[in-house]
Structure 1
Amino acid sequence: MMRFKIGECDIDILPVVNGLVSEAEKVRSAFGNHEAYAASLGWEGLEALRKRDEIGVDSVEVSELDIVYSNKMSVFGEIQTPSPAFCELVDLCAEAGKNIIPLDMNDEEFDDAFMECVSATQFTSVHHLAKKGFRKRMDAATPEELAIEWDRFVESNRGFKRLDKRREEHIAKELCDVARYRRKVLAVIEVERVEGVADILKGVCNNG
């Protein structure tokens, strides 16, 4: 867990590994002592998790890259979709009567950012990237290391790297906005985005 002080607000960032069932326990352990809770998802994504029982998990879109990631991550434990960590946060907040603050772009904003960051050529190369990733050996010793190593591989596609940077900037901006009216916040963020978000927040903290 990482803590940042922005104004009068303490922001705790909890890095989680997407897909691993065991990550739900990490969220449970961190839950309960914060005024507000936030997640690196857009509001549509959060709403889908809230309604996942009626929508059904079969409706969750899974890309070729996600399939390869899940295959590699499975060496560290059981994998489920959608992300057990975020599902746990949604369920805990529902039980506590708390709303989750969405930190990521909404669908329309994400689509616009995708079009701006990822060229047609970069988009059509995803199949080749997934095949290459399937063959690539990963030497990570922990789930966190694997998630970050896989992310760096995917970001060899420069369009995806630009898009990830855009997401990190958006998440950091939302956290700064939240800090204006909250005093203690737990933000659950996928581990591969934490370093970028933290670097931006450090600049905010250092500049007062």
Structure 2
Amino acid sequence: MMDIISLGSCKVHILGVIKGLESEVEKVRKAFEEVNPEKVLISISKEELEGLRNLPEDFEPELSRYEEIYAEGLSRFGKVAAPPPCYVAALELSDHKGIPLIPIDLDERSYTDLYCAAVGGTSLFRHSTRTWLMKRRKYSLESPEAFVMAWDKAVNNLEGFRIIERKRTEQMAAGTREAVDGAERMLAVIEFERAHEVADLLRKKQE
């Protein structure tokens, strides 16, 4: 199920994806077929997109402790891989079809500046020392969507991290609006945790 937002004469189809789950590749493929987009938006930074384009053949992901715990929990719903298969699929399909692929997340400099401003020393210490609690916490196993939403809430329960995610959402919405020129159909591949928030922001701007 995709959110469809009308921005002028352009219809933006927002596809929420589960980062890391290999089965999401098929969801992305079907969305490309259904939408036949003229542009594709992706919820990563321009630097992350460049990194995806230049992955070495012998790439071995270096996961943080948080990422390891996330992957362990998500693996209950299927095979997990890094980098996120949903983003790799969006890149490969866009390149294969000759469709512009536009990163809409904060660039690395902006993210770093925001992180330094939003996350104080106390919050950073608490965040870095509570992985044991994250591992012991019980998360919803109803669906991968329920799991990632519960994980997102737990990870971002400190105010500084909530500010970061809010700014990321605002940037994704702004990037979406900026990309509509010259397009009637766009597909936005956005992490599930932020997808509905981006859609809500776009709707509010239309009111």
TM-score, length-normalised on structure 2? Answer: 0.94
Spell out, residue by residue over 1:55-108, the C-alpha distance to the aligned partner (whole angstroms, 9 max, x if none). x432x4422211111111110011101100000111111212223111001111
Asked if the contact 1:64/1:130 (under 8 Å) is kept, the reply is yes
Asked if the contact 1:105/1:167 (under 8 Å) is kept, the reply is yes
Distance in 2, Cα, partners of 1:15 & 1:205? 21
1:12 corresponds to: 13
Spell out, residue by residue over 1:132-166, the C-alpha distance to the aligned partner (whole angstroms, 9 max, x if none). 11000112300011011100011112211110001
2:37 to 25, 34, 38: 34
Aligned residue identity for 2:44: L
RMSD: 1.3
The DSSP-based 3-state class of the residue aligned with 1:18 is coil
The DSSP-based 3-state class of the residue aligned with 2:73 is helix
Report 1:1-208 matches (<5 A): 1-32=2-33, 33-54=36-57, 56-58=58-60, 60-206=61-207
The DSSP-based 3-state class of the residue aligned with 1:31 is helix
Deviation of 1:125 after TM superposition, in Å, equals 2.0
Asked if the contact 1:36/1:98 (under 8 Å) is kept, the reply is yes
Distance in 2, Cα, partners of 1:200 & 1:129? 32
Consecutive unaligned residues of structure 2, counting only runs of 5 or more, are none
Asked if the contact 2:38/2:100 (under 8 Å) is kept, the reply is no
Consecutive unaligned residues of structure 1, counting only runs of 5 or more, are none
Asked if the contact 1:39/1:86 (under 8 Å) is kept, the reply is yes
Deviation of 1:129 after TM superposition, in Å, equals 2.7
Distance in 2, Cα, partners of 1:14 & 1:145? 16
Asked if the contact 2:40/2:101 (under 8 Å) is kept, the reply is yes
Spell out, residue by residue over 1:105-124, the C-alpha distance to the aligned partner (whole angstroms, 9 max, x if none). 11111111111211122122
Distance in 1, Cα, partners of 2:24 & 2:202? 24
Between Structure 1 and Structure 2, how many residues are aligned? 204
The DSSP-based 3-state class of the residue aligned with 2:26 is helix
Spell out, residue by residue over 1:149-197, the C-alpha distance to the aligned partner (whole angstroms, 9 max, x if none). 1000111122111100010000001111112332210000000011221
TM-score, length-normalised on structure 1? Answer: 0.93
Asked if the contact 1:15/1:189 (under 8 Å) is kept, the reply is yes
The DSSP-based 3-state class of the residue aligned with 2:15 is strand
Distance in 1, Cα, partners of 2:136 & 2:114? 30
